[in-house]
Amino acid sequence: MPTINESYFLQNQPKPTSNTGQNMLGKDDFLKLLITQLQNQDPSNPMDDREFIAQMAQFSSLEQMTNMNNTIQKFVDVQTSQSLVQFSELIGKEVKWVQEVDVDEYRTELQYNDNKVQSVKVEFDGTIRILLDNNRWIHHEQLTQVSAVKENQPANPPSGDSSSEETAE
């Protein structure tokens, strides 16, 4: 089953800057302007029907965009909470994770480690972080394997040997 890279999730996208200053008009302001325009129009030369319909269409579009924005925000909130619930299933499981280790000034290599998951949290920016039994927080992107805890296994098994793992370069 194909998976979606989490970097494409909405909460991982850069947040657009919003103008909340005095130069922004909302839908209430738009309606007030339209009503004022209708009340103060010249009776001998009333507003053209096409112009009125065009303004009402603009108002309708504005309201639909506002509703769509609210719906998308609710979707993002639900998606974030579901990610936390999904990752919470890792608590108590054995995980293999990878980190880059500097070999020398010019080279790094991948080191694979085995630990047990203790906790999961969502950072303010929506990133999932995982607490391991060695009190180290890692990013969920570092996980390479998840396994059920084996019976008669020590609480903190030794780290995996990076030389026995092949690394893709």
Q: What residue segments make up the domains of the chain, in order of their start? A: 54-149
What pLDDT sits at residue 164? 41
Q: What is the C-alpha to C-alpha distance for residues 31 and 130, in angstroms, rounded to an integer?
A: 49
> What average pLDDT does the segment 68-74 reach?
92
pLDDT exceeds cutoff 80 at 161: no
As a whole number, mean pLDDT of residues 9-30 equals 63
Residue 11: pLDDT band with limits 50, 70, 90: low
pLDDT value of position 20: 53
66: closest CA among 32, 36, 30, 37?
30
